[in-house]
Structure 1
Amino acid sequence: MVEFSSKVVLVTGAASGVGAGTAKTFAKHGTRLCLVDRDEENLAKTETECENVGAEKVLTIVADLTKYEDLKRVIQKTIEEFTELDVLLNIAGICFKAPMEIVSFKDFDAAYNINVRAPLFLTQLAIPYLEKTKGSIVNISSIASKKYTEASQMIYSMSKSSVDHFTKIAALELAKKGIRINAVNPAFMKTNLFQRWLKSDEEVEELVQERAKLVPLGRKNVKVHDVIDAIMFLASDRAKMITGTCLFVDGARHLTGM
């Protein structure tokens, strides 16, 4: 994608999983990258990998996206370094198991602060710069926003439903500024996000096999590269008439009763 050469792309959650993979994919197209995460060690690894595969320039920012001052600092440093912004990728997120009987204020706030509040206010802060470049935004949502998936994932599912509504309403508001905003809604992927709330490698593999049986298309789980492909498409000019869309990358699972 020659169109991404020298473009400025801001990626949250860039230290691992989909965020790191997406950053490295954009890097191969010669982009200028701003990588954001609170995991300084793994963020540095992503930075090195992006530089090695062709990024024009890489800026890393260690930040806590639950803090408004850090959100402001992310945008400020990005513009100071690159003077512009073309693509904002709100990928950072958290997932945890917490049945309603035991879910706490802390759990609720954690899910909404990272999954909803951070992308909303980072987008708000980025609007003046994205308007100048007629840029685009891609949020990471989930199949959980539409389909009941786990009895113990109420708060996570609620937060991702909020991401979908934010995406659609923001698309209407930002259209007049020439800014597009879309979301990608993956089914279960074997990433650090989900592995954190599983107790062992055996439990992870058991869940992988269990979920694979529920995917109508090919009976396989969604891979990270499937999601990255969707992000790249929605961020590109090939999607120039697409905004307010929640693109399900789930092998049609959200259409089934399973």
Structure 2
Amino acid sequence: MPDLRGKVAIITGASSGIGKGTAVEFAQLGAHLALTGRNLENLQATAKACVEAGTPEDKILVVTGDICDDEVRKNLVDQTAQKFGRIDVLVNNAGIGKFSDLETLDMAEYDRTMDVNVRSAVRLTQLCVPHLTKTKGAVVNVSSINGVRSMSGCLAYSMSKATLDQFTRCVALELASKQIRVNSVNPGVIPTDFFKTMGMPEEKIAQLMERCKTFHALGRPGEVSEVAKTIAFLASSDASFITGAQLSVDGGWHLMCPR
């Protein structure tokens, strides 16, 4: 089991889904946490779950705000460093998506998707580098199967995740001399509220969950905990010689071909 005792981790998009699951997993492993998202009530629920998982309440920082706001990003990094005296891990998890193809894509929607999914990760990583240099820390970017495999109907989201994967590889090389490791995880279908926020009706979500059994070689969708454990591994010293990797947590979807 990875050991994150005393490590300070920033987790974006921590109010739900993979972000919340990662926060709880990190808490179980002894990490001190800086959690951010837009929904204060949900963030407080995550913080409570982290306390129940083992992190003392005074070792959790909650920062609400829009991750696209540079003042929010700066405050997040500054407050984390001030409270804990260090930053060991950055998990760039915040993400949004909408269903659209080229002909129906609204460019404002495209800009917002790229802002949340890519620009925020780039800027936060940039702000954290001085701190991660001191701790020889790690960055884990939460990407998607959409960054690996081409599919229609979610163009901006897929483009953003492919960009995030390339960012991971490039920055892993740039920061290697500072002993900062940068990796990404690429989940397949994970049942969370994400599909609902993308605008998919409940009936369609249920159909997707059934149909996605054929997408994954293992014959089922994944679980939040399976992604969270992978992120924890990459953030820990157990992955000390891994950087620039894209770790698929997709039940083998990236290997599948239409038949």
**TM tier, shorter chain?**
over 0.9
Distance 1:2 1:193, change over 3 A: closer
Equivalent AA in structure 2 for residue 140 of structure 1: V
Q: Please give the per-residue CA displacement for 1:188-236, whole angstroms capped at 9, x wherever unaligned.
A: 111111222344322111010111112112x111111111121111111
| Equivalent residue runs for 1:207-218 within 5 Å | 207-217=208-218
So what's the TM-score if we normalise by structure 1? 0.96
User: Is 1:185–2:186 an aligned residue pair?
Assistant: yes
2:238 — aligned with what? 238
User: Is 1:23–2:23 an aligned residue pair?
Assistant: yes
Q: Distance in 1 between matches of 2:200 and 2:117?
A: 23
2:108 — aligned with what? 106
2:251 — aligned with what? 251
1:83 — aligned with what? 85
Q: Distance in 2 between matches of 1:49 and 1:253?
A: 31
**Superposition deviation, residue 29 in structure 1:** 2.0
Q: Distance in 2 between matches of 1:198 and 1:66?
A: 21
Percent identity between the two aligned chains: 39
Q: Distance in 1 between matches of 2:133 and 2:238?
A: 19
Q: Distance in 2 between matches of 1:49 and 1:254?
A: 33
Equivalent AA in structure 1 for residue 207 of structure 2: E
Q: Distance in 2 between matches of 1:96 and 1:190?
A: 16
Runs of 4+ in 1 over 6 A off after TM superposition: none
Equivalent AA in structure 2 for residue 238 of structure 1: D
So what's the TM-score if we normalise by structure 2? 0.96
1:173 — aligned with what? 174
**Superposition deviation, residue 30 in structure 1:** 2.1
Q: Distance in 2 between matches of 1:10 and 1:20?
A: 12
1:45 — aligned with what? 45
**Superposition deviation, residue 3 in structure 1:** 2.9
Unaligned segments of structure 1, at least 5 residues: none
Distance 1:2 1:115, change over 3 A: closer
**Count of aligned pairs:** 256
Give the one of 67, 76, 93 matched to 1:74: 76
1:141 — aligned with what? 143
Q: Is the 8 A contact 1:171 1:181 kept in 2?
A: yes
**Superposition deviation, residue 247 in structure 1:** 0.5
Secondary structure in structure 1 of the residue aligned to 2:3: helix
Q: Please give the per-residue CA displacement for 1:141-189, whole angstroms capped at 9, x wherever unaligned.
A: 011112123x211111100000000000000000000100000001111
Q: Is the 8 A contact 2:2 2:238 kept in 1?
A: no
1:115 — aligned with what? 117
Q: Is the 8 A contact 2:99 2:199 kept in 1?
A: no
Unaligned segments of structure 2, at least 5 residues: none
2:205 — aligned with what? 204
Q: Distance in 2 between matches of 1:118 and 1:199?
A: 25
**Superposition deviation, residue 2 in structure 1:** 6.7
Secondary structure in structure 1 of the residue aligned to 2:244: coil
Q: Is the 8 A contact 1:212 1:220 kept in 2?
A: yes
